[in-house]
Amino acid sequence: MVVNQSQIADFLGVTEETIRQKQAEGLPYEAGAIGTANRYDTARVVEWLIQQALSKAGRSKSALELEALELDVKEKRAKDALREKTLVPVQEIEPTWNNRVMTAAAFMLGRHSQLAGDLDAAQSAEARRGILKRSDAEFLEKLGVDASAMQRELEALLCKVSKDEADALLRRITGAFGWQPTAAGTHGGGVGASSPAQENPAV
């Protein structure tokens, strides 16, 4: 579209003075005859402005086109993944996840009452640890997590490393949650729950 100076200024959202300054910098226009207004091709003006912006940013048009192509490829791959069900839209997952979170939250709200009685009835620290472990597993199950599988994977990992490395790993894990590691060795024995430990009424 070919427009006059006032129109191109409105089109770009700048003043006519800015247009005259840009003309001195190379903005393309067709000079009008004496007494007539200059004419501006909006497509050429926009292309020139883009090139100026890219030049100032130290980038070329080819680099911008390459980025656009990469984004297009990523978008097509995402669409293919959705079609092949290897990528699931968040709106399909969110209701299930929200339901699991609410179920887990409700479980946690009533957990202390049940645990208080079970822990008071337990005869040893080992029994209390077992109660807590089962309660933790039940909580994870509410979130759709297989706690037993997690335990097996951790035990398998611990069996592959030295006792010192296993103890260091467990200290990092328990420390992250503010737990205190047990005094007994843990190598090959899971996360402390199945290993013998000294009697400790406070757990």
pLDDT of 80: 63
| DSSP character string of 90-144 | HHHHHHHHHHHHHHHHHHHHHHHHHHHHHHHH--SHHHHHHHHHHHHHHHHHHTT
Does residue 148 surpass a pLDDT of 80?
Answer: no
Q: Quick one: pLDDT band at residue 59, thresholds 50, 70, 90? A: low
Mean local confidence (pLDDT), 66-74: 70
Share of the chain above pLDDT 90, in %: 8
More confident residue, 202 or 53: 53
* CA 175 to each of CA 45, 102, 170, 182, 192: distance values in angstroms, whole numbers, following the listed order: 62, 27, 8, 12, 14
Share of the chain above pLDDT 70, in %: 69
| CATH number assigned to the domain with residue range 1-56, chosen from the 4 options 3.40.1280.10, 3.40.50.150, 1.10.10.10, 3.30.70.1400 | 1.10.10.10
In residues, how long is the chain? 203
Distance (Å, whole) CA 78 – CA 127: 50
Phi, psi of 137 (to 5 degrees): -65, -40
Mean per-residue pLDDT over the chain, rounded? 74
Does residue 197 surpass a pLDDT of 60?
Answer: no
Mean local confidence (pLDDT), 33-55: 83
Q: Quick one: pLDDT band at residue 16, thresholds 50, 70, 90? A: very high
Distance (Å, whole) CA 89 – CA 135: 32
Identify the helix (H) or strand (E) that includes residue 61.
helix 61-83
